[in-house]
Structure formats: C-alpha cells, structure tokens
Amino acid sequence: MTTDKKYILACIDGSPLSSSVVEHAIWLANNSQLPITFLHTIEHSHVSEHPDHEGNFTPNMTENLLHDLTDEERLESKRLIAEGKIILSKAEQRAEQANVTNINIKQRHGSVSQALLDLDMDIEMIVLGATGEDHQDDKKGLGSQLEHAIRSTQRPLMIVKKSFVAPRHLMLAYNGSPLSKKAIDIINKDMFSTQSLNIHIVSVQKNNEDAQQLVNEVETALSSSKCIVKTTALTGDPLEKLSQYQQEHHIDLTMMGAFSHGKIHGFMFGSFTTQMLLDGDSNYFLLR
C-alpha cells in the first residue's frame, strides 16, 4: 500500500540484526501511527570467478572474458534481486501479523546513504542496524556504511544494536543544544507511547549547577506530557558517565544528537557519537 504520508523507513539486508530492525520499525509504527516502508538496497561488489591474468590473454581470449564477466554480473544481479525480494516479503508479512496496516516495500540499486538522500523528503524517521552483512561477525564493531548513512540525512534515526525487546527505559542525553531540544518535541508528541516508558533525563556538565539547570529545563518542558520523568545531573566525562548510567539503569534506548561537529573535527578529536555507539549497551535514537 502506498501513501502520501511521511513514513518510517526500515533498512534491511538479511543480516542477523535485520529481524530486530523490522521489530523496532513495527514498534515505532504502532506507537506513532506512521506507515512503514521496508527498503532493501543492492550494492554491486562483483568479484569474477576468473583469475586476473589478462596480460597473458590473446585479443580473442580477452573479448570472451569481458563477455563472461557481463554474464556473471547479470546473474549476480538477478540473484541479489531475488534474495532481496524474499527479505522484503518476510518483513512485510511480519508487519501485517503485527497489525500494521500501511506498509510499502522498496528495492533499489546503490548504497543506503544514497537511498536516504533520494527519499529524504518522504521520510519521518529511519531504522538501521548497527551492523550489516559486511560486519555481522564483529559484534563490537559498527557497519562500514553506518556513519556515512547517518551523516547523509537530517531525519531522526533509530540505530539497532541488539534483539528486540519493547523499550521500557529511555535516556535523553541532554546538553541544551538545538538537537537535544528536538528530542523534547518528539517525546511530547508521544512518538514512543510514553505511558509505557520511563524517561531518564541525564545531563553531564563541568559543574553540577549547570547540569541541574539543564535537567530542570527539560522537566518543565515535559510537564504536560504523560510520561514518567526522572532527572539526573552529573559532572565528569560525558562518555564515561552516560555509558555508566546506561548500564546501572538498564537503558533500552538512548536519545542524543549525532555528529554535531563536522567530519574534520571528528577526524582530529574522535567522534563522541561513534564512541557512544561503540561503548553503549542500548539502542540509539539519534537526532540530526
């Protein structure tokens, strides 16, 4: 079913985390009443079965090799398309079983980041696995395309790191920035069925007074919402304190701004977002 309404875009590739991406997208759709579009992208990284000895070939042999490569690529493309359709069909069936009524599927050639750029105007939020097929054996790593995909869009993204369990504890890492203020708006819109969630507002600053002022600010902004709010003001290293809070309070979902500094800053000093994604135990909802 197609719709003019903005939708949740769930990117799936058949990796172990894909089923969790599907379940989190369903959870978001049922809470927000938004449609779901499941997306499968095909990136061609064809490696020929023929060894690379072109320098030893006669002109006729080279022409035959090029013809064979074209056939190989065509067969590989057909195989990837067929596998992708199966992945999409299973996701659609699962969403139907979960009573999602507005579902669409898309299959595209190219990278995930390019797809996000092309579809940007139609997307409300995005669900991505932290690792894909290219990284599924590295449980502590991140997919090679993840940062590029996150940086390619200004839409909110849910980054899934583990199997689906309906979130019960959401932590908002709040620093008063425009991105963290966007998080307040999303919570106030009941995007996460906030009656069933405990919202932890955590601010880590250089001094306790500044941290307390910031969490008070959020508590006031959420005063009319239905959610249960707990505020915590902390001092120290933000990465260390936020990761520790996640573990101690069994945080399922962490909301925070992502890559607020440019790529050059991240290269020189390291990216706080990347380190949180690597070190944290929760799933993430990133604001761009």
pLDDT tens digits, one per residue of 65-94 = 556 657 778 788 888 999 999 999 999 999
Q: Where are the domains of the chain?
A: 1-164, 165-288
Length of the chain: 288
Of 177, 171, 204, 162, the residue nearest 258 (C-alpha)? 177
Q: How many CB atoms lie within 10 A of CB 281?
A: 13
pLDDT band at 38 (very low <50, low <70, confident <90, very high): very high
Q: Residue 230: enclosing H or E segment and its boundaries?
A: strand 228-235
pTM to 2 decimals? 0.84
The whole-number pLDDT of residue 266 equals: 39
Of 19, 13, 27, 75, the residue nearest 49 (C-alpha)? 75
pLDDT tens digits, one per residue of 147-185 = 889 989 999 999 999 999 999 999 999 999 888 889 998
Given a cut of 50, is residue 268 above it in pLDDT?
no
pLDDT band at 267 (very low <50, low <70, confident <90, very high): very low
Checking 205-213 for CB contacts under 8 A at 24+ apart, the result is 205/175, 205/233, 205/234, 205/235, 206/235, 207/235, 208/233, 208/234, 208/235, 211/235
Percentage of the chain exceeding pLDDT 70: 80
Strand partners, 201: 172, 231
Q: What is the mean pLDDT of the chain?
A: 84
Fold classified for 1-164? Rossmann fold (3.40.50)
pLDDT band at 249 (very low <50, low <70, confident <90, very high): very high
User: Class assignment of domain 165-288?
Assistant: alpha beta
pLDDT tens digits, one per residue of 116-148 = 999 999 999 999 999 865 544 444 556 667 888
* Dist. CA 22–CA 12, nearest whole Å: 8
**Which stretches of the chain are DSSP H helices?**
18-32, 59-97, 112-119, 146-151, 178-188, 208-221, 238-248, 263-269, 272-279
Q: Residue 37: enclosing H or E segment and its boundaries?
A: strand 36-42
